[in-house]
Structure 1
Amino acid sequence: MLLDENGTAIGTADKATVHHEGTPLHLAFSSYLFDREGRLLLTRRALHKKTWPGVWTNTCCGHPAPGEDVESAVRRRLSDELGLEVGRLDLVLPAFRYRAVMDNGVVENEMCPVFRGVVEQRPTPNPDEVDAVEWVPWAEFAPAALAGTRPISPWSLLQIEQLAALGPDPFAWRAGSADDLPPAARKAA
């Protein structure tokens, strides 16, 4: 879903053709899943991905399909990429936006609401999407990522900066308001 600067939908484009040197602003999402011990599920992107292949990142990222609400898209991608079903998902960064450029010039340019959830299953990674997974204690991971000693995707690093500002305990992060989502990501009343 292509967006204008206010986050309103202005059209659609195929994901396979939208990421290039002049990537238009579009709608995406990120998710951070934790186990009951407060460990974050990290994923390493498949080595053949067009954008950031082999890079460690947050649990799951993706794009809603036309007409699909963002939370449903998160659930779909968690199932497709990791074989995971989650109960409650909390919107924690409704207005997150970023732009990042790969060494080869390919650009990510997204309004990207961020969700948190708790999972009790073991992931079963889809090798078309995920090369590896790792459970890491948030209390160790976040400071290491922020210090640059734990390499992570550029969007995840920016998200971690904002998530860390919500407090050290991911279970205590206050949910954001759906009113702060980009208009294209809000559910129709």
Structure 2
Amino acid sequence: MTPDEHVVLLDTDGNAIGTAPKTAVHGPDTPLHLAFSSYVFDRQGRVLLTRRASHKLTWPDVWTNSCCGHPLPGEPIPDAVVRRLSYELGLQVDRVDLLLPRFSYRAVMDNGIVERELCPVYRAVVSAEAVPNPDEVGQVRWVPWKEFAHDVLSGGMDISPWCREQLSHLDGLGPDPLSWPVADPADLPPAAR
């Protein structure tokens, strides 16, 4: 992250209403802002899980989906997904598909820091191993999707709150993550189109 990196602030309908420095956004009164979540799969349908770096402001050392981030103002979200996967995990992406165009959540850490994002969810497919950036990622592991979904949905795996919420939606798309239907980009919130 560069010191002047900004995120897109949103109204409740998903329209852009301004920007703010990323470093100043997350706190007890976090405004609604645009983000994304991505789930990286290999050709065998295994999902790449990441443990957030221990020095992260929000949810340090917590296991989560492959990569989350914020598009820069004016940056198409698929481009942001590719950019962050390269930066955080050293991955070159074969394809990026929109899965959940309107996912939104609010989560509060024990220390009162709030995460509040309109966060479309994407699938990325890769053919190579991850090379984690220690500034972002503490650890990675590949897990068969069905095993991961079962562990999270049965309460047997501790995972980030946004990932837990997304899993119930993704699980409904079918057992094979490589054949999930791609969502229509027209269903994205206005600021993400």
Please give the range of the TM-score, normalised by the shorter of the 2 chains.
Answer: over 0.9
Identify the structure with the greater strand proportion.
2
Partner residue in 1 for 2:137: 130
Residue 30 (structure 1) aligned with residue 41 (structure 2)? no
Distance 2:15 2:148 in 1: 34
Do the aligned residues in 1 keep the contact of 2:104 with 2:117 (CA within 8 Å)?
A: yes
SS at match of 2:91: coil
Shift of 1:9: 0.2
Amino acid at match of 1:143: H
Partner residue in 2 for 1:167: 174
Give the percent of matched residue pairs that are identical in Structure 1 and Structure 2. 64
Residue 83 (structure 1) aligned with residue 90 (structure 2)? yes
- Which contiguous aligned blocks of 4+ residues in structure 1 show a shift greater than 2 angstroms? none
Do the aligned residues in 1 keep the contact of 2:95 with 2:126 (CA within 8 Å)?
A: no
- 1:121-171 alpha-carbon deviations (Å, 9 max, x no partner): 111100000000000000111011011101110000111110001111101
Unaligned runs of 5+ in 2: 1-7
Shift of 1:113: 0.5
Residue 119 (structure 1) aligned with residue 126 (structure 2)? yes
Distance 2:124 2:72 in 1: 21
SS at match of 1:61: strand
Residue 65 (structure 1) aligned with residue 104 (structure 2)? no
Partner residue in 1 for 2:112: 105
Residue 55 (structure 1) aligned with residue 55 (structure 2)? no
Amino acid at match of 2:82: R
Amino acid at match of 1:50: L
TM-score by length of 2: 0.95
Distance 2:98 2:178 in 1: 12
Amino acid at match of 2:152: A
Amino acid at match of 2:181: R
Unaligned runs of 5+ in 1: none
Amino acid at match of 1:20: G
1:95 to 91, 102, 112: 102
CA RMSD, Structure 1 to Structure 2 (Å): 0.6
Partner residue in 2 for 1:177: 184
1:43 to 31, 46, 50: 50
Shift of 1:95: 0.6
Do the aligned residues in 1 keep the contact of 2:98 with 2:182 (CA within 8 Å)?
A: yes
Distance 1:45 1:17 in 2: 20
Distance 1:179 1:158 in 2: 23
TM-score by length of 1: 0.97
Do the aligned residues in 1 keep the contact of 2:94 with 2:127 (CA within 8 Å)?
A: no
